[in-house]
Every structure is written in structure tokens, then in C-alpha cells.
């Protein structure tokens, strides 16, 4: 069923007004542009969500005389809508330009200014979004180049003045010190309201739905606390390995690549207090409070509250795969983790005493991102003697991906003359309810950047609070030579992760 034809959507306005915009991608020759950004822009065009006047300019060092053709090919391959609609592409293609140049060279910005000026005359695209899909070390030079060339001017409070916004891809720095330095450099010439730090998990429908589920219903929120919840498990598992990104990955590891951003974002949405409004700062204030309530894991505590590991050879979906240290461009003695598990605590009235178990890994048994709330056991087991009776708790699982949905496990009576019980699941599936063509995270985020809505982007203090929690763990591992466990590819991670659990708890098998 197409989303457009979905009866559950009837009466819901889908149109958003976006001002005429030039969308400029720095790092346009990279993988993200091909796989995610261009397909997202094309899908926005297909959904008629782009402004009538729109232009796209790629900037990168490599010469790309056939940029528009390459992008057409990428969209045909990676777009969620297939086949490519020629009319939509032809409209979009007319506004595509490419500027070749070094990010440190003022001449690059002069050429970009000329192109943008021409586009503005031809297409009326006086507003600009600069999307920096580059390494964090390249961001300061680009922002300086943009500001020196007056392509970005100070933020105006006049809502009718043309806008310039800068979207910064992750990773945002590589530790707290570099993230702070990056924030300082950005804020030296931009206003926080012009900066959009991306974490694409926030663009995922199901991550946003965590807030609708919690704060758009009356029945769940009263259960959402230490009074009723005994433990929370957050899993971000991937089947894929490092996909030829050895050079990058071996310097980064899963804690910086996934936990510092995606997993902590899921945690904040899951644990935050209700904001007073759906306003960027109201929402982000509450998220920052969660990050600040995270009990730090420092020094030797890393040995008891975290486990790091690397994948060894194994089989994923029947295919033999090699171990991490055998991957191309990975140091054969590498101490970079591809799996991490942590036992976290939130020092707050709502969550005091509830273990938050978090794990993330590459080459695990199944691709799966989810949050599972385990509810407290019954105070008295009335049906202890019934056939099939167990002391398994009620569990509420929010499936972020794949198979997006929400399931509640509870006990029922098995029909028949005797008292027999079985656990069943009440299961809501996005795919069935709303059709399968859910917009991709990047579609929502690009649209929001053009609309000036920063709710789903990370604020400066937020990203610093994330690093503030992660830094001591990375330092603790180094200083205390934390062991590097190993797990078979295609498994659910190392056995050592079990030692993090409170007696009686077990890791879920999603």
C-alpha cells in the first residue's frame, strides 16, 4: 500500500511550506551524498515537499564534470521509490550544479558565490542550507570560508530576511575537547540558531514516535518510571561489519560511532521528562537533563560496568565472514571495539535504581534497534500452579528498526477447561498500519533544516554532554587496560556482557 493511498492518513496535512532554497553539499563526492542525501532530496521532490524554487550545488575537491548524471544514477539505485520518475528528476536536475575546489582556498567560495548568485537570479533561491558532509577536522575551514565570503551572514531576527543555515554531519568531534573546540569555532561566526548538528537516528519515524507514544497517550506514561519498570534494555545491533571502512573505523570504534550519538539519543527520548511544548529548546532542555543525570563511569568502574569486544570470524546469514582484525586497513593488533555493552544508571527521581542496559555491536545475529521496558514482577502469583505459568515479566518493546512497531507481552489464559497460561504479544506494526513507504530519516531532517526546525538536531550543550559521558569510559579503558573480549560473528556478542546484569536479568534475544 502506498503511503499516499493510506486511509489512516486521511485528513492529515502533509504539505509544509519551505522557502525557496539553495541546498549546498560540501563533500558531494562522498558516499553519504550518493546513498542518502540525493535520494532524500529526490524523495522530497516526489512528495512535493520541496519549495517550487530549489537548487542543489555539490562542492568537493575532485573534478566531476558529470555530477548530475552520477547523482541520477545514485538516486535510481538508492531511492526508496523505484523506478526513477523522469519528470521529477528532470525538474530537479535543472537546478543541479557542481563546484570543484579545495575547502581551504578562498577561490572555492568565490566560485560558489558566483554560482549561488546566478541561481538566485534564475530561480529565486536566496535562502541557503550548507550541508557539511565532511570530516570534523574540515568543518572549521569551511565555516570560515563561508563567513569570509559573506555566504553566511549574522542571524537575523526578521523572519522575512533570507536565511543561511549550516548542517554538520556526525561525528561531531572525536572527544569532549574537540567537540568543544568545534562548537567554539562554529559559534565564532554563526548563531546557534543557524547550526543543525545531525544525528540521523532522530529523523527515524520510530525514534520520534517514542515521544508520541509516551506523551500523546494517557495510559503509558504513568507506568514509565521506577515504580513499575524493573530494567530497560537498549539495543542497536547490526549484521554488517565495517564495510570496507577500516581506515576510518579503526580510529573510531563503536562507542564513538554509535553509542555517543545514536544510542544516547534513543536513551534520552526514552527517559526524558515531558517537555512543556514541542519546541526545539523545550525538547532539547529535557534531553540534556537526562544526559546530565547519567551516572558517570570513571576510572576502574569501566571494568565492572562496561564490556568491550571485537568480532571474530563466523557466519552471518549463512555466509562466512572474517574477524575484525583480518579486515582490510585494520591493524592486526587493533584495540578498537566493534561491540560495547554498558550498565547505566540515571540519578533521577523517575529512574533512580533502574538498570539501563545498553549494547551495540557490528556483525551481530540480527539487525535490530529497539528499546525494551521490563516491568516489575507480580507482587503475588495467583496462578502459580497453572500450566504454562512463568515469572516472566510484562515487556514493552519499541522496535525502531527493522519491522518498526510496538509490542506488549502479557499473559493470557489458554482457552479450555483447565487453567493454563501463555505469554502473547499485542503487536502494532507500522508497515501494516501505514504502508511500507516510510520516509527515510534524511528526508525529514533535510526538510526540517530548510523549515528552520531544530527540534530533531543536537544542540551544542547536548553534544558536549554526550561526550562528557563517553570520554571517561574511553579513558578508563586505556588507563586500566580493559580487556578486549571476542565474539563470534553472527552471535549476540561476548559472554562477558552477562556479568553486567543484575542477578536474574538476562539480555534479550530480539
Rounded Cα gap, residues 279 and 454, in angstroms: 9
Residue 450 φ/ψ, nearest 5 degrees: -70, -30
Rounded Cα gap, residues 358 and 305, in angstroms: 11
Q: Is 262 a catalytic site residue?
A: yes
Among residues 155, 200, 228, 262, which one is catalytic? 262
**Secondary structure of residue 282 in the 3-state scheme:** helix
Q: How many alpha carbons lie under 13 Å from residue 23 in its C-beta half-sphere?
A: 30
What DSSP assignment string belongs to 367-383? -EEEEEEEEPPPSS-TT
Closest alpha carbon to 361 in 305, 302, 297, 311: 311
Rounded Cα gap, residues 469 and 295, in angstroms: 8
Q: Which of 170/284 has CB closer to ligand BG6?
A: 170
Chain residues binding ligand BG6 by CB under 6 A are 170, 238, 257
Rounded Cα gap, residues 1 and 435, in angstroms: 5
Q: Which of 155/245 has CB closer to ligand BG6?
A: 245
Q: Which of 166/364 has CB closer to ligand BG6?
A: 364
Closest alpha carbon to 79 in 44, 49, 54: 44
| Secondary structure string (H, E, C) spanning 434-501 | HCCCCCCHHHHHHHHHHHCCCCCCECHHHHHHHHHHHHHHHHHHHHCCCCEEEEEECECCCHHHHHHC
Q: Give me the least distance between CB of 118 and ligand BG6, in Å please.
A: 35
Q: Give me the least distance between CB of 207 and ligand BG6, in Å please.
A: 10
Degrees to nearest 5, angle at CA 198 with 187 and 367: 155
Q: Give me the least distance between CB of 134 and ligand BG6, in Å please.
A: 14
Give the residue nearest to ligand BG6 (CB). Answer: 257
Q: Give me the least distance between CB of 199 and ligand BG6, in Å please.
A: 8
Q: Which of 170/399 has CB closer to ligand BG6?
A: 170
Q: Which of 224/430 has CB closer to ligand BG6?
A: 430
Q: Which of 55/340 has CB closer to ligand BG6?
A: 340
Rounded Cα gap, residues 346 and 226, in angstroms: 11
Q: Give me the least distance between CB of 170 and ligand BG6, in Å please.
A: 6
Q: Give me the least distance between CB of 372 and ligand BG6, in Å please.
A: 17
Catalytic positions are 262
Amino acid at each position: 500500500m502506498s503511503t499516499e493511498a493510506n486511509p489512516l492518513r486521511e485528513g492529515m496535512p502533509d504539505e509544509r511550506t519551505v522557502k525557496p532554497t539553495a541546498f549546498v553539499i560540501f563533500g558531494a563526492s562522498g558516499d553519504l551524498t550518493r546513498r542518502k542525501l540525493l535520494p532524500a532530496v529526490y524523495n522530497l521532490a516526489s512528495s512535493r515537499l520541496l519549495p517550487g524554487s530549489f537548487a542543489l550545488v555539490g562542492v568537493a575537491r575532485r573534478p566531476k564534470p558529470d555530477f548530475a548524471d552520477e547523482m541520477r544514477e545514485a538516486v535510481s539505485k538508492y531511492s526508496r521509490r523505484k523506478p526513477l520518475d523522469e519528470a521529477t528528476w528532470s525538474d530537479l536536475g535543472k537546478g543541479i550544479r557542481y563546484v570543484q575546489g579545495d575547502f581551504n582556498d578562498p577561490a572555492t567560495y568565490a566560485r560558489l558565490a558566483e554560482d549561488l548568485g546566478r541561481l538566485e537570479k534564475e530561480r529565486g533561491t536566496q535562502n541557503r542550507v550548507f550541508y557539511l558532509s565532511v570530516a570534523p577536522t574540515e568543518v572549521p575551514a569551511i565555516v570560515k570560508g563561508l563567513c569570509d565570503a559573506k555566504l553566511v551572514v549574522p542571524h537575523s531576527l526578521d523572519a522575512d530576511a533570507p536565511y543561511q543555515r549550516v548542517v554538520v554531519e556526525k561525528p561531531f568531534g572525536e572527544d569532549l575537547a574537540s567537540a568543544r573546540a568545534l562548537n567554539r569555532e562554529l559559534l565564532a561566526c554563526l548563531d546557534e540558531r543557524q547550526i543543525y548538528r545531525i544525528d540521523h537516528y532522530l529523523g527515524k519515524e520510530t525514534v520520534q514516535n517514542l515521544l508520541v507514544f509516551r506523551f500523546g497517550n494517557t495510559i503509558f506514561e504513568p507506568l514509565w518510571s521506577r515504580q513499575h519498570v524493573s530494567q530497560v534494555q537498549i539495543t542497536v545491533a547490526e549484521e554488517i561489519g565495517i564495510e570496507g571502512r577500516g581506515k576510518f573505523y579503526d580510529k573510531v570504534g563503536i562507542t564513538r560511532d554509535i553509542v555517543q550519538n545514536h544510542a544516547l539519543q534513543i536513551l534520552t527520548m526514552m527517559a526524558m521528562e515531558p517537555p512543556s511544548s514541542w519546541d526545539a529548546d523545550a525538547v532539547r532542555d529535557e534531553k540534556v537533563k537526562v544526559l546530565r543525570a547519567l551516572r558517570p563511569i570513571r576510572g576502574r568502574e569501566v571494568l565492572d560496568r562496561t564490556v568491550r569486544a571485537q568480532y571474530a570470524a563466523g557466519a552471518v546469514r549463512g555466509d562466512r565472514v572474517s574477524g575484525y582484525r583480518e579486515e582490510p586497513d585494520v591493524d592486526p593488533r587493533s584495540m578498537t571495539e566493534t561491540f560495547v555493552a554498558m550498565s547505566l544508571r540515571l540519578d533521577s527521581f523517575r529512574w533512580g535504581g533502574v538498570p539501563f542496559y545498553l549494547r551495540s555491536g557490528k556483525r551481530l545475529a540480527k539487525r535490530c534497534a529497539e528499546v525494551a521496558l521490563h516491568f516489575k514482577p507480580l507482587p503475588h502469583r495467583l496462578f502459580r500452579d497453572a500450566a504454562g505459568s512463568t515469572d516472566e515479566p510484562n515487556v514493552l518493546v519499541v522496535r525502531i528498526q527493522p519491522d518498526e512497531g510496538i509490542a506488549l507481552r502479557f499473559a493470557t489464559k489458554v482457552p479450555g477447561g483447565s487453567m493454563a497460561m501463555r505469554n502473547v504479544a499485542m503487536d502494532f506494526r507500522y508497515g501494516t498500519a501505514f504502508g511500507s513507504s516510510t520516509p527515510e530519516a534524511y528526508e525529514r531532517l533535510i526538510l526540517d533544516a530548510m523549515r528552520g526546525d531544530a527540534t530533531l538536531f543536537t544542540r551544542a550543550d547536548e553534544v558536549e554532554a554526550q561526550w562528557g559521558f563517553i570520554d571517561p569510559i574511553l579513558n578508563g579503558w586505556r588507563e586500566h587496560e580493559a580487556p578486549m573480549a571476542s565474539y563470534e560473528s553472527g552471535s549476540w556478542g561476548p559472554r562477558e556482557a552477562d556479568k553486567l546484569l543484575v542477578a536474574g536479568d538476562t539480555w534479550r534475544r530480539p
